Structure 1
Amino acid sequence: MTESHTSVLVVGGGPVGLALSCLLSGHGVDHVLIEAHPAASRHPKARGVSARSMEVFRRIGLEGVVRAAGLPAGQVHFYRGRDLVDPDYVRTGLAQEPGEGPEHTPSPGLICSQDVLEPLLLRRAEELAGSRVRFGARLVSFSDDGLGVQSVVEERATGRRYGLRADWLVGCDGAASTVRAGAGIAMKGPTGLGRYLSIRFEAPLGRVVADRASASYFLTAPGRGGFMAVDNDRHWIYQYPLAADAGAGADPKDHRVLAGLVRTAVGIPDLDVTIRDTMTWRMNAQLADSYRSSRVLLAGDAAHVVPPTGGHGMNTGIGDADNLAWKLAAVTAGYAGEALLDTYEAERRPVARQVIDISTDNATNRAGYRIDDELLLTAAYRSAAVVPDPGPAGGHSTLDAAGYRPGCRPGERVPHVRLTQGPADVTSTLDLIGPGFTLLTADDDPQWQLQAEAVRQAGIPLTLRAVRTGAQQEAETGQWARLIGTDHAGAALLVRPDGHIAWRGTCPADLSTLPDLVRRILATP
């Protein structure tokens, strides 16, 4: 076999693996992505793209095309009725119109099904990494010797096998992860919370739901039950609940029977239905015991299987990729210690635990549940890659019945504040972040210039940016000062490449202070 080398091997070309590939390319990391399937998913699967995921897509240059491909904001409602023509239906979840209420993100979430999203991510990953993105290639085996991972890859079309050595292996290969099994990492949590037959079909339903258009249709007793969702006027998905008996339910190959199920669920006996595709799946709620074993790491469904009753399974995985990409970049570039990768599990596993618990509770809530677009904006990391505040200054991010309130504590996502001065493509504080570390200051104090240069002299990428909300925009200027938590003119935030705050403070007089802080965050030997 021929053999080659790469810094990172990503196994799995779903939304999480493709997002990781795009992010690694943005950080300049040499990597290879392999995916056993020959093409992107044809099935809708995940549909909700959260605000935090859209912020990640904004950073990799994909926000515009994803927004153009998703459902209009006015359709983000949730319908409940015994069928689609139930006169006594209930419709909730009216999307907030632009300009209503406080603005907490420049990139609101939307509905964009996985079969639409994946090709967009694949195209972007290929633009950035070219032939290093390899579909139709499966991982046959791997071994981790503590210094790297030796893998055998097979091209599905030809059967040709080749060796690939990587410094790091990341398993983004789903709930039945080959990587996780090979690394000997166990999953814990309940399985079989529900079984469903997913039916992708075409039917002229646009006019049927014209007065009740929604992103999701929950079908209740005494109707057939289950869940329907629309991609456009004619293309729909029906999640049909199967009996607990594994042998029960409709034959996925009998399109006549499947069409009958759809007609009953819709409530129109003579509906013109064309079945396009089917798949069966189980609702599980599991979390990996560990996210890392030596040189092997897990992300997405390989690390956590989230019930879809909440809309954040895929989004949690995209957050994993965002957290992991910059850490792999720092370690492979040599300016961070390998211990930095231990903070990946410390930061991301609690987020997955929270999302799994919320989604599991939702699965048993027959009265309906709320899908919070802003939930993942509140993720607050606690790890060695964050320097905690010594004092109580400034509030922290919260999400409750009163809504989302951003904070500015270390570990939290840097809050969005709209910028009214500067380049046309920089309209939010989030646009100032990356690709390395970013020091956000409130002024041009020359001491910050000296501190930033001292960090760069240590070989660590850092950009100094003064936040300019516009002197005439007093509300914005005041908002930024309140979020930083101090009115001190020398206040600053040290922001990591993933947009989370690593440190908050004022300009130190000692020029060794900031480099020492950054080395501590990066676990630099």
Structure 2
Amino acid sequence: MLGRRVHIVGGGPVGLVLANLLGSYGVRVTVTERRSEAELSAHPQAHFLSSRTLEIFSSLGIADAVYRAIEPVACWKDFVYARGVDDLDPIARYDHIASSVYPLSPIAPPTDHLEATAPTLDSCDHSHHGIHDTLVGPDASFLSSGSLQIAHPVHFPSSALMPMLLERLRSPDVAKFVDLRLGSEVASIDDAVQSVGASALGDDVVVVAADGAHSTLADEAGSVLVSPDPRFPAGKALQSLINVHFFIPPHAVELAHPAMLYFVYNPEFVGVLVAHSLARGEWVAQIPFFPEWQDLSALSTTRAVTDAVLAAFPAARASGRLTRAHIDVRSAAPWSMRVGVAGNYAPMPGLALAGDAAHQFPPAGGFGLNTGIADASNLAWRLARWASAEADCTQLAPSLASYTAERRSAAQAAANQSMANYERVLAVTSAVGLSPGAASMAQSAATALPLPGLLKNVIFDSSVRAAKYAALSSISPSRAAAVRNLQAPAVASG
């Protein structure tokens, strides 16, 4: 190795996967992350890991640990649309893995294309390629019935993933190449270069901005996200939400159908709940709010979010099995849903973008984290080659240009699919009788009145509440049928 190194700014899942891959290649790497280790593992964010992500985890040796830790597929294979999480007669239910191909699915893995390659493989000299015997050799079991191993997607919270990535990063074979700096910040690109003792960006250090949707380094480099849909500009929030992480007693709620996602529509609660662990009673609620018209500080108090969560479990609340005292709120934080893809993943020589710094999607489908981890996999071997003695500095720019071309096209496809999924969610909202434009109508009505701002906010709030009561007090059979007829959203697979 030469004295070249990589500085990854951002120690979320994407940054830690990249660090693990580079450490495995023997590349000297520094990871700088502003959060502490406890903070990294405190709040579940992304939770659906695709088959491609599990293939990458298999190469790191952590896939089996993930598979051992997940709950039974029956707990998370469904999406449920209901009047409450504990609605015993939900509006609709979709099995999101029924048509997928992996061991948890009833569909057999496709092997015809592999069998068709056997004559070609047999005609070649395979003295240096042991994979031939693995595939079609005399003792091969790869093509035998039931033996084909395909990595399969799982429902697994990022908060549980982080300790696994950190543990591997600290293993003796990897740790000798890695300088992990938790609780530290990088103020600028120059700081990222100088803080690791390097002389020049792209000469003896490559900086990877994996510092999230509000990337300081991407902003400094002039990176701009471009939306794939002109109706939804990249700089404008599609929706603002309060993300509430909470625990409830596991047996306090009777569920007709265990599920991964619950889309709840009732007069007091409209939002999505993620069941991270039914066994532990760990949940996240995504509650929409309107920052221009509603007071975030009032909406995000422990009392306010506890009441909101309680309204998502109307049967348990009515029976007294679930009360405010049962709900353990761990955190409540706002975030904004956006869509966009960076025009260039290497906006400066020696600087690469990965993860949310390069692309942002609505969460529908689980494309964000998985696309970011695929970024890390694509980038790792390029940086390892640059860091090796066989490459000169002039090869870095074309390699990063290729990285942009390959990963940007994947991100654009993910953006398009996640937007299609998001529009399906809006279609469900319309089907149950609540117009997605109700908030805009309330905003227009409040704006038109010659009243002080505080009174306008009260009128907006009252108008939205009235619209929910009018639409959702009773969801008719015809509306429920309309929801059931909508196509289920697609999820990340590759």
Aligned length: 360
Quote the residue 2:84 is aligned against.
83
- Structure 2 residues without counterparts, runs of 5 or longer: 111-148, 228-232, 429-485
- 1:43-94 Cα deviation digits (max 9, x unpaired): 1111100011000000011101112222322222111101112233122216
Q: 1:218 aligns with which of 250, 258, 263?
A: 263
**Which secondary structure state, in structure 1, belongs to the residue aligned with residue 219 of structure 2?**
helix
In 2 relative to 1, CA 369–126 (structure 1 residues): closer, same or farther, beyond 3 Å? Answer: farther
Alignment match of 2:155 (pick from 87, 111, 117): 111
State the Cα deviation string for residues 236-279 of structure 1 (Å, max 9, x = none).
Answer: 11111112526435635522222111111121334221211111
Whole-angstrom CA distance in 1 between matches of 2:390 and 2:343: 29
**Structure 1 unpaired stretches of 5+:** 144-148, 154-161, 377-525
The partner residue of 1:129 within 159, 162, 175 is: 175
Counterpart residue type for residue 185 of structure 1: S
Deviates most, 258-267 or 51-60: 258-267
2 CA distance for matches of 1:294 and 1:167?
Answer: 11
2:159 counterpart letter in structure 1: D
* Paired amino acid for 1:280: P
Partner of 1:350: 409
Shift of 1:35: 0.6
Q: Identify which of 359, 367, 383 aligns with 1:312.
A: 367
Contact 2:244 2:285 in 1 (8 A): yes
Which residue of 174, 183, 193 maps to 1:151? 193
What aligned pairs does 1:210-359 form with structure 2 within 5 A after superposition? Answer: 210-222=255-267, 224-232=269-277, 233=279, 234-243=281-290, 245=292, 247-249=294-296, 251=298, 254-267=301-314, 268-269=316-317, 270=320, 271=322, 272-292=326-346, 293-336=348-391, 337-338=395-396, 339-359=398-418
Partner SS for 1:138: coil
Report the CA distance between 1:222 and its aligned residue.
4.4
Tell me, what secondary structure is at the counterpart of 1:364?
helix
Structure 2 CA distance for aligned equivalents of residues 70 and 249 of structure 1: 34
For 1:126, the aligned partner's letter is R
What is the rounded CA distance, in whole Å, between the counterparts of 1:247 and 1:6 in structure 2?
50
Amino acid at match of 2:94: T
Equivalent residues in 2 for 1:458-497, closer than 5 Å? none
Question: What is the rounded CA distance, in whole Å, between the counterparts of 2:267 and 2:299 in structure 1?
Answer: 24
Q: Which residue of 2 aligns with 1:492?
A: none
* Higher relative contact order (Cα pairs below 8 Å, separated by 6+ residues): 2
- Contact in 1 for aligned 2:169/2:175 (Cα 8 Å): yes
Distance 1:334 1:342 in 2: 21
- Give the AA of the match of 1:132: D
- Distance across 1 between alignment mates of 2:65 and 2:97: 20
Matched, 1:140 2:195: no
Aligned CA-pair RMSD: 2.4
CA distance in 2, matches of 1:288, 1:372: 23
The superposition leaves residues 466-517 of structure 1 with CA deviations (integer Å, 9 ceiling, x where unpaired) of xxxxxxxxxxxxxxxxxxxxxxxxxxxxxxxxxxxxxxxxxxxxxxxxxxxx
For 1:24, the aligned partner's letter is: L
1:175 counterpart SS class: coil
Percent identity, aligned pairs only? Answer: 29
Separation in 2 of the partners of 1:41 and 1:99? 30
Match of 1:12 in 2: 10
1:275 partner letter? V
Query: Residues 69 and 247 of structure 1: is their aligned pair in 2 closer, same or farther, counting only changes over 3 Å?
Result: same
Q: Is the 8 A contact 2:365 2:492 kept in 1?
A: no
Matches of 1:94 and 1:361, distance apart in 2: 16
| Cα distance change on mapping 1:346 and 1:94 into 2, 3 Å | closer
Provide the C-alpha distance between the structure 2 equivalents of 1:103 and 1:358, rounded to a whole number of angstroms. Answer: 24
TM-score under structure 2 normalisation? 0.68
**What SS is found at the alignment partner of 1:139?**
coil
Task: Report if aligned partners of 2:7, 2:206 keep a CA contact under 8 Å in 1.
Answer: yes
CA spacing shift, 1:291–1:266, aligned 2, 3 Å? same
Contact 1:6–1:31 (8 Å) recurs in 2: no
The 2-side partners of 1:253 and 1:194 are apart by 16
